[in-house]
Amino acid sequence: MAEPSERQDPLPGIRAVLAVASAKGGVGKSTTAVNLAVGLGLRGKRVAILDADVYGPSLPRLLGLRGQPETQRDGKLKPMTAHGVGCMSIGFLVEEATPMIWRGAMVMGAIENLIRDVAWGDLDVLVLDLPPGTGDAQLSITQRIPLTGAVIVSTPQDIALIDTRKGIAMFEKVNVPILGLIENMSTFVCPSCGGRSDIFSHGGAREAAAELGIECLGEIPLHLSIREASDAGTPIVLGAPESAEAAAYGKIVDRLIEKLDAALGDAARKAPPIVVQ
Ligand code: ADP
């Protein structure tokens, strides 16, 4: 298989592309992607997020964005902006409730157009909220977009973890470094009494990550405030920055910054030297 650098045109002005993936839907991938993106922005990074989840584009809602992006004179779309983060989503172009049947090739075409026809400007990180799953569409994205690294979001349930292994295998196949696993909907924290219970069990991702030789970047509790903040369009890292939930995301963001820098360093070392004759 070809090295990514041989197959993919770099995205001009974009230093790192971080894919947020999950083996199945409903595990909190988009919620995590948005909180990581806004969290990176809060740490001074220039960030944008692309909603590649064409089956269920939810980023406009999670970021409280409405309306449609403007088209610039050069024909490129201007990303919408919320909370300091640029955003582009197929959800701006079609209604969220519109059922869409996409075949693999259509998904790739739509995402490639979105990513290359948007005037992102200079970015430290472009976060890519991938469609859930590990099928052809996802594989095609990982092959055709120059990803710096990927994080996989999973619930602690065993069944989800079996699928998660497929996700890990997919990135390994195309030489995209897996920066780590995030256990979402980990311990449930009762909003009334603060009591903790492990509804979907707990720590499964940490164990699986250790077994698979990848890092567990952190555990995000299952907490009503995370859902409420998302629905209100202000991710919890901004809506309640002092909360334990925001701190859990913050810890992951700090580690991701280190890991993205390391991945960029590795990629630079692996790149063939340019010889000027
Ligand atoms: P996915 O992108 O994997 O399909 P979403 O991010 O849309 O999942 O999340 C599914 C639902 O779960 C949403 O209603 C979201 O607000 C909620 N949710 C996600 N993570 C958490 C969490 N840690 N605590 C509470 N609710 C969460």
pLDDT tens-digit map of 154-209: 888 766 677 778 888 889 888 899 999 999 988 877 777 877 777 766 767 777 78
255 pLDDT exceeds 80? yes
Instruction: Choose the residue to mutate in 155, 199, 227 for probing ligand 1, maximizing ligand atoms within 8 Å of C-beta.
Output: 227
> For the domain that residue 106 is a member of, what is the CATH number?
3.40.50.300
Separation CA 216–CA 259 (nearest Å): 12
Residue 21 lies in a domain: yes
- Report pTM: 0.90
Residue 130 lies in a domain: yes
56 pLDDT exceeds 90? no
Separation CA 60–CA 90 (nearest Å): 9
Residue 187 lies in a domain: yes
- Binding site membership of 27 for ligand 1 (Cβ less than 6 Å): yes
Domain with 157, as residue range(s), is 12-268
Residue 277 lies in a domain: no
- Binding site membership of 30 for ligand 1 (Cβ less than 6 Å): yes
Residue 18 has phi, psi (to 5 degrees) of -110, 115
Residue 6 confidence (pLDDT): 44
Separation CA 183–CA 210 (nearest Å): 13
Residue 65 lies in a domain: yes
3-state secondary structure of 85: strand
Q: Which whole number is the average pLDDT over 227-249? A: 96
Under 8 Å between Cβ of 51 and 181? no
- Binding site membership of 227 for ligand 1 (Cβ less than 6 Å): yes
Residue 145 confidence (pLDDT): 87
Residue 136 lies in a domain: yes
**Residue that is written with structure tokens 């299952």 in the block:** 222
Residue 73 lies in a domain: yes
Per-residue b or e along 1-16, where b marks 16 or more CB atoms closer than 10 Å to that residue's CB? eeebeeeeeebeebbb
Residue 49 confidence (pLDDT): 97
Q: Quick one: which H or E segment has residue 183?
A: strand 178-183
- Binding site membership of 161 for ligand 1 (Cβ less than 6 Å): no
Query: What token pair was written down for 85?
Result: 């983060």
Let me know if 105 is exposed, middle or buried by CB neighbors in 10 A (0-12, 13-18, 19+). Answer: exposed
What residue owns the CA closest to ligand 1's atom 5?
28
Query: Which of the residue ranges 2-11, 17-26, 247-256 would you say has the lowest mean pLDDT?
Result: 2-11
User: CB neighbours of 141 closer than 8 A, spacing ≥ 6?
Assistant: 19, 52, 107, 108, 111, 128, 130, 131
Separation CA 181–CA 264 (nearest Å): 19
What residue owns the CA closest to ligand 1's atom 27?
227
Residue 104 confidence (pLDDT): 60
Query: What token pair was written down for 37?
Result: 């993106």
Checking phi first, is residue 235 left (phi over 0); if not, alpha (psi -120 to 50) or beta? beta
User: Confidence class of residue 103 from pLDDT cuts 50, 70 and 90?
Assistant: low
Instruction: Choose the residue to mutate in 22, 24, 31 for probing ligand 1, maximizing ligand atoms within 8 Å of C-beta.
Output: 31
Number of domains in the chain: 1
Residue 218 has phi, psi (to 5 degrees) of 160, 170
Residue 256 lies in a domain: yes
Instruction: Choose the residue to mutate in 89, 96, 230 for probing ligand 1, maximizing ligand atoms within 8 Å of C-beta.
Output: 230
User: Confidence class of residue 4 from pLDDT cuts 50, 70 and 90?
Assistant: very low
Residue 150 confidence (pLDDT): 95
pLDDT one-digit tens code per residue, 195-235: 777 776 676 777 778 888 899 999 999 999 999 999 999 99
Q: Which whole number is the average pLDDT over 28-54? A: 95
Residue 57 confidence (pLDDT): 82
Query: Which of the residue ranges 33-37, 106-110, 141-145, 248-252 would you say has the lowest mean pLDDT?
Result: 106-110
pLDDT one-digit tens code per residue, 115-154: 888 999 999 999 999 989 888 878 888 888 889 999 999 8
